[in-house]
Amino acid sequence: MRAAGLDLAGVLGGAVITEAVFNLPGLGKLAVSSVVEYDLPVITGVTLIAAAFIIIANMIVDVLYAAVDPRVRLTAI
């Protein structure tokens, strides 16, 4: 279950390839076209959105992992 959060990064990376190959509109195609056109604000935005998705997914996985396994405790830093 802990690897589920990391799988999201692979899904986003696969979306870039899939959208570029099949000419589908989406975040991956936007990222590729922004890099080709050297559009820095869009590249920054896409990177921030992707990072936010990965961070949120990892947080959800950590909370669910603590709920499923009673040996794991969530502590505040």
pLDDT, tens digit, 9 for 90 and up, residues 44-68: 998 898 888 888 888 888 888 888 8
Is the pLDDT confidence value at 1 over 60? no
Question: Is 75 domain-assigned?
Answer: no
pLDDT at residue number 47: 87
Structure-derived torsion over alpha carbons of residues 26, 11, 64, 77, reported in degrees to the nearest 10: -90
pLDDT greater at residue 65 or residue 8? 65
Question: Is 73 domain-assigned?
Answer: no
Q: Tell me how many domains the chain contains.
A: 1
Question: Is 74 domain-assigned?
Answer: no
Alpha carbon 45 to its chain centroid, in Å, reads: 13
Question: Is 23 domain-assigned?
Answer: yes
Domain interval for residue 58: 4-68
Alpha carbon 13 to its chain centroid, in Å, reads: 8
Dist. CA 46–CA 62, nearest whole Å: 24
CB-CB neighbours of 50 under 10 Å: 19
Question: Is 10 domain-assigned?
Answer: yes
Is the pLDDT confidence value at 39 over 90? yes
pLDDT greater at residue 64 or residue 41? 41
pLDDT at residue number 42: 94
Question: Is 11 domain-assigned?
Answer: yes
